[in-house]
Amino acid sequence: MATIPPTQAPGTAEYAGDEIGALVLDPGSHSTRAGFAGEDTPKSVVPTHYGVLPTGERLFGDNAIHLPKADLEIKNPYNSDGIVEDWETAAKLWEYTITSRLTGARQTPPSKNGLNDAKDENGDTNMDEGMEQLEEQEKPLQEFPLLMSEPAWNPAKERQKTIEIAMEEWGVPAFFLAKNGQLAAYSQSKATALVVDIGALNTSVTALWDGMVLQKSLQHTPLAGNWLNDQIRIMFANNQPPVPLVPHYMVKSKTPVDANAPSSATYVHFDKPPTDSFRKLEEERVLTSFKESVVQVWQGPGRLDSPASQGGVTNGDYVKSMPPKPFEMPDGWNTVFGLERFKVAEGLFDHNAAYTDDKTKKPSGEQTIISVVNKALQAVDVDARPVLLNNIILTGAGSLIDKLPERLQADIQAMYPNPRVRVLANSNSVERKYGAFVGGSVLASLGSFHQMWVSKEEYAEHGAQIVDKRCK
């Protein structure tokens, strides 16, 4: 596959695009994406957070988890490193993501539905035999080959667990596991690239050479979307006056008030207020909307506090002279943010600029996005570095902060002045958000990829270890 020049397009008949009907599942710690191969957006996007009722019943999906209910605990099957911890729930959640929107319940074939069986004298059919055969039938994904994505640092045990679930619980006929960064690069039709993927829990860097992941280059850092939310939270608390963080579900109605004036909203009265974890989830939604609409990264050159020109004027002073942006909280309280909306994101590039409080420690200098990129580059062969620098792909929903690609480009160029640095960030936000899904969708629908599937027979023969051998 690799020796065919990548520029040479296969013939139309060889695309075999929709012919295999594969499914693509791209699970993340914030949302889980699934869809059919060959489509440009995932049809099913489900939040990875789930609700647990006191009875132990698990609730999935946007509609279930955002409804305020007493005693509904919100949980997440991922640990802080972005690796699945609670396998039982994760498997259920992934299955829900696929079956709720994509496949639906299967029709029982006529030979098994009992209607055509010979009846005994009481008019009953022999069910025992039928039940046994039905066992086979009840697996949800028996018709669909499945391509899944995984974080680059996924341990071997977790990878084997993934193929076990897919093969044994879901009964898929063929399976493949690809790394997030790899797929994101494919979505931009690049086989050689340095992928910077800013997700919710982690920002990861993956170097890709001719379609193959360079293992030693894999790096990740917790400075990502959720960390940015924490920064905003601390900024709100330290602001003068402090910004009240009231989630939507608590507000019944609101009336407009002046900037910085106390809100005059009517609040919902709960007999028993929802749990803390529910409140946190809803607060995160407010923070996310603030992040998406107000926060901006200083576009470079230099850092926010570095001097812009002679005479002690810093970039920050320049930013102060720009018009500030207003933001209104769900309860009507509102104010404008000037320098603060830049400062919260500065920590991604300058660890000294990060906000801290007693729970959040200052990140180390090695955790900033730039030093992680540098570490990844140092781990690859020197001849490959200029090529990778020329093909840096920025992806992930966390990268959608305004001017972030420009800053990344400026900072990396400042670090390597000689080779040409090019940061490719798709201007279409959907493609950036679902980069790994789109790449997986492209890959799984290619005729030439079909050689690579791990089939059911191979799994039966070699066991779960085959995933380490085949999906490198």
Partner 1 sequence: MAATERRTSAPARSFKRARVSRPPAHWEQTSIGDRPDVPLLKHWQKAAAQTPSFAKYKVEPEVPEFSDEQYEEHLKDPNWTLEETRYLIETYKGCNGKWTVIIDRYEKPERTMEDLKARFYAISAVMLQLETPIQSMTAPQYKMYETLKDFNPKQEMSRKRLAEGHLHRKKDEVDEEAVLLAELQRIMANQESLDSLREDLRKRLDYPKANTNSYQYSTSQALHALWQQLVNADRLRKNQRLRPVGPGQSATSIEGSTSGQTPASARPRESNAGTTQHEPSPASNTKLTEKDKRRFGITEVGPGEKLPSGVSFASDKLSKPRIAKSTVQTEKIAAVLSHIGVPDLIPLPTPPVIEAFESLMGKLHTLLDMRKVAEKEEQELRVREAEAGAQVKEE
Q: Which stretch binds partner 1 (CB under 8 A): 67-75, 81-89, 281-289, 455-463?
A: 455-463
Determine which residue in the list 31, 162, 217, 221 makes contact with partner 1, applying CB under 8 A.
217
- Cis, peptide link before residue 301, omega less than 30° from 0: yes
Instruction: Give which of 223, 277, 225 is closest to 247, Cα–Cα.
Output: 277
Nearest distance, CB of residue 202 and partner 1, angstroms = 21
| Euclidean distance between CA atoms 177 and 150, whole angstroms | 7
For 467, the token pair is 């995933």
Nearest distance, CB of residue 337 and partner 1, angstroms = 27
Nearest distance, CB of residue 189 and partner 1, angstroms = 17
Determine which residue in the list 101, 106, 153, 209 makes contact with partner 1, applying CB under 8 A.
209
Nearest distance, CB of residue 450 and partner 1, angstroms = 4
With contact defined as beta carbons under 8 Å apart, do 445 and 15 qualify?
A: yes
Query: Which letter does DSSP use for residue 78 in this model?
Result: B
Residues 281-310 that bind partner 1 (CB under 8 A): 301-302, 306-310
Nearer to partner 1, 68 or 302 (CB): 302
Q: Which stretch binds partner 1 (CB under 8 A): 98-106, 127-135, 194-202, 379-387?
A: 379-387
Q: Per CB under 8 A, does 14 bind partner 1?
A: yes
Nearer to partner 1, 316 or 332 (CB): 316
| Euclidean distance between CA atoms 221 and 344, whole angstroms | 17
For 307, the token pair is 């001097």
Nearer to partner 1, 174 or 369 (CB): 174
One symbol per residue from 140 to 179: x for binding partner 1 (CB under 8 A), - otherwise; what is it? ---x-x---------------------------xx-----
Residues 68-97 that bind partner 1 (CB under 8 A): none
User: How remote is the C-alpha of 154 from its chain's centroid?
Assistant: 14
Determine which residue in the list 169, 325, 455, 464 makes contact with partner 1, applying CB under 8 A.
455
Q: At 206, which amino acid appears?
A: T
| Euclidean distance between CA atoms 429 and 414, whole angstroms | 27
Nearest distance, CB of residue 225 and partner 1, angstroms = 29
Nearer to partner 1, 312 or 323 (CB): 312
197: number of CA atoms within 13 Å, CB side?
A: 33
Determine which residue in the list 1, 9, 118, 131 makes contact with partner 1, applying CB under 8 A.
1
- Cis, peptide link before residue 241, omega less than 30° from 0: yes
Q: Per CB under 8 A, does 420 bind partner 1?
A: yes
Nearest distance, CB of residue 468 and partner 1, angstroms = 12
Nearest distance, CB of residue 32 and partner 1, angstroms = 24
With contact defined as beta carbons under 8 Å apart, do 254 and 263 qualify?
A: yes
Q: At 308, which amino acid appears?
A: A
Tokens 């390597």, residue located: 416
Question: 3-class secondary structure for 103-133?
Answer: HCCCCCCCCCCCCCCCCCCCCCCCHHHHHHH
Nearest distance, CB of residue 384 and partner 1, angstroms = 5
Q: Per CB under 8 A, does 11 bind partner 1?
A: yes
Determine which residue in the list 111, 133, 215, 465 makes contact with partner 1, applying CB under 8 A.
215
| Euclidean distance between CA atoms 258 and 225, whole angstroms | 31
- Beta strand extents in 81-239 (DSSP E only): 146-150, 174-179, 193-198, 203-209, 212-213, 219-221
DSSP lists the bridge partners of residue 174 as 455
Q: Which stretch binds partner 1 (CB under 8 A): 3-11, 182-190, 329-337, 363-371?
A: 3-11
With contact defined as beta carbons under 8 Å apart, do 440 and 409 qualify?
A: no
Residues 310-339 that bind partner 1 (CB under 8 A): 310
Q: Per CB under 8 A, does 447 bind partner 1?
A: yes
Determine which residue in the list 133, 239, 448, 465 makes contact with partner 1, applying CB under 8 A.
448
Nearest distance, CB of residue 76 and partner 1, angstroms = 33
Residues 380-399 that bind partner 1 (CB under 8 A): 380-386, 390
| Euclidean distance between CA atoms 372 and 6, whole angstroms | 29
Binding residues for partner 1, rule CB under 8 A, total: 53
Q: Which stretch binds partner 1 (CB under 8 A): 89-97, 182-190, 207-215, 248-256?
A: 207-215
DSSP string, 385-410: HHHHHTTEEEESGGGGSBTHHHHHHH
Question: What is the per-residue burial (b if ≥16 Cβ within 10 Å, else e) of 286-299?
Answer: bbbebbeebbbbbb
Nearer to partner 1, 32 or 204 (CB): 204
Torsion (CA) 59, 62, 68, 74 in degrees, nearest 10: 50
Q: Per CB under 8 A, does 458 bind partner 1?
A: yes
Residues that bind partner 1 (CB under 8 A): 1-4, 11, 13-14, 16, 19-21, 143, 145, 173-174, 209-210, 212, 214-217, 301-302, 306-310, 380-386, 390, 414, 416-420, 447-448, 450-451, 453, 455-458, 472
